Amino acid sequence: MIKKIAWETFKNTGDINAFMELKKIEKIENEIKERYAKSSTRANRRKSKI
């Protein structure tokens, strides 16, 4: 979704900086999702051992 917003913003404004900032936000969002997935997987493994 952020990728679409970034592209539409760039198309409408022509401002590459706005596009790049939104792409950075998308990258951070993906990193957070990956960390959450890893931590919840670890938590599930711990629960299954108990």
Helix (H, G, I), strand (E, B) or coil at 31: helix
Structure tokens at 21: 């900032």
pLDDT tens digit sequence for 23-43: 899 999 999 999 988 887 766
The confidence band for 16, taking pLDDT boundaries of 50, 70 and 90, is confident
* pTM given for the model: 0.60
Residue 1 or residue 44, greater confidence? 1
Residue ranges covered by each domain of the chain? 2-49
CA distance 43 to 25: 27
- Phi/psi at 10 (5° precision): -65, -45
